[in-house]
């Protein structure tokens, strides 16, 4: 990896990274699903896609958002895992896949969440929704608010289960954002998505995600099916330091959704690698600040900078920092003063803002005068 700014530091892991042979990346697998998406979890970069922004019915993939809203309610203290939820007749009568809870019985939130995540229980979904928000309709409003906050702008929910409704829709791209948020924000609950079986009321049911049995690197997330939506599967897998998320919508059968998802994951892991270029707060460059105290300020990125690149292409990366030629005080540490651009073979693949590590105040009168004379001379 080459750097085009004299003040950018060459960090240790870059100096020690092995020389990788160049490799060509073939086209992504040709799949029959209506839509799909493969992204790198860390960088968010798209590795393969088809109709990923086209609105489609979500089926039980909806329950990812039901869980996300419930997890947020637990985090904020609105509900607890130990809460005993009184099962309503509506929840008990909900059709489709079930956890087999019984009307007027009390079930802990923790068991309802597992019944929804592992067994895809529609009855459990409705019970959770009613416990969090009073009614399922009110809970759907919370789901839509969360979708907006996550940037899922092509998604709308009308229920907590994913049962058919003409106003229930989402996209593969939005689902990937949601899966990313669950993994990132709630690691303490994410392990439930890898659980292969769950037993409640003497009834044991298998997780419908066939990849959990097929691929040891897969640890989530959710299946879905209705006649209108087809067979759907959101999967995530981690191999070494790379995590991928695949979304397959509208496959023709349960085996087709598993095969399509496996093909996408294998493609991503085989031909791409994920690299951490800079950690959040790590010095990227040092810049002279005219009329400032101090005169020199380190510049950093706010967040970890990950990139996804074809395997064997690391040495063909360039990093270029761009800041004004005359950076002048005062500077606010919360104000972006430049950017860092990463290119591969001359094509930009990532750019992030650069920020000073601290506020830079104006220097005293003599310091400012000295800088004025220097700038005038230059």
Which sequence positions are flagged as catalytic?
60, 63, 120
Structure tokens given for 253: 């059968």
Maximal CA-CA distance, the chain: 86
State residue 368 phi and psi, 5-degree precision.
-65, -40
Sequence-distant (6+) residues with CB within 8 A of 188 are: none
**């044991």: which residue's tokens?**
204
**One-character DSSP codes across 58-76:** -GGGGHHHHHHHHHHHHHT
Beta strands in 335-376 (DSSP E): 338-344, 347-356, 361-362
Distances (CA, A) of 88 to 3, 80, 124, 157, 280: 63, 19, 10, 21, 47
d(CA 331, CA 324): 13
Beta strands in 89-229 (DSSP E): 106-108, 197-200, 203-206, 218-226
**């956890």: which residue's tokens?**
99
Which run of H or E residues covers position 230?
A: strand 230-239
Distances (CA, A) of 161 to 122, 165, 269, 337, 356: 5, 10, 32, 46, 47
**């790590």: which residue's tokens?**
282
Q: Are 18 and 25 in contact (CB under 8 A)?
A: no
d(CA 241, CA 244): 10
DSSP reduced 3-state for 326: coil
Q: Are 92 and 107 in contact (CB under 8 A)?
A: no
Distances (CA, A) of 317 to 14, 183, 275, 343, 349: 11, 29, 11, 6, 10
């Amino acid at each position: 990896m080459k750097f085009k700014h004299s003040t950018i530091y060459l960090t240790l892991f870059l100096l020690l990274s092995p020389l990788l042979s160049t490799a060509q990346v073939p086209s992504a697998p040709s799949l029959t699903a209506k839509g799909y998406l493969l992204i790198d979890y860390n960088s968010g970069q798209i590795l393969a896609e088809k109709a990923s922004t086209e609105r489609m019915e979500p089926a039980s993939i909806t329950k990812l958002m039901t869980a996300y809203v419930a997890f947020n309610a637990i985090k904020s203290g609105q509900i607890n895992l130990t809460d005993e939820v009184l099962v309503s007749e509506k929840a008990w009568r909900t059709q489709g896949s079930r956890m087999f809870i019984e009307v007027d019985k009390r079930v802990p939130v923790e068991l309802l969440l597992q019944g929804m995540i592992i067994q895809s229980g529609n009855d459990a979904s409705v019970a959770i929704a009613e416990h969090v928000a009073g009614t399922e309709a009110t809970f759907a409003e919370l789901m839509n608010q969360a979708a907006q906050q996550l940037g899922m702008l092509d998604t709308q929910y009308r229920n907590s289960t994913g049962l058919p409704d003409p106003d229930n829709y989402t996209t593969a791209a939005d689902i990937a954002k949601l899966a990313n948020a669950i993994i990132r924000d709630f690691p303490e609950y994410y392990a439930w998505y890898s659980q292969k079986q769950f037993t409640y009321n003497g009834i044991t049911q298998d997780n419908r995600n066939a990849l959990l049995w097929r691929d040891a690197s897969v640890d989530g997330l959710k299946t879905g099916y209705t006649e209108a939506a087809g067979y759907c599967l959101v999967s995530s897998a981690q191999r070494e330091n790379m995590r991928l998320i695949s979304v397959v919508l509208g496959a023709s059968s349960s085996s087709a959704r598993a095969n399509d998802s496996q093909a996408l994951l294998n493609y991503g892991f085989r031909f791409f690698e994920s690299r951490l270029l800079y950690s959040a707060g790590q010095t990227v460059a040092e810049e002279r600040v005219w009329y400032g105290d101090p005169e020199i300020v380190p510049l950093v990125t706010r967040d970890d900078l990950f990139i996804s690149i074809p395997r064997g292409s690391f040495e063909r990366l360039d990093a270029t920092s761009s800041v004004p030629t005359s950076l002048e005080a005062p500077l606010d540490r919360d104000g972006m003063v430049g950017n860092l651009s990463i290119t591969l073979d001359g094509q930009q693949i990532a750019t992030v803002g650069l920020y000073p590590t601290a506020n830079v105040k104006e220097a005293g009168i003599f310091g400012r005068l000295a800088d004025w004379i220097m700038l005038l001379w230059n």
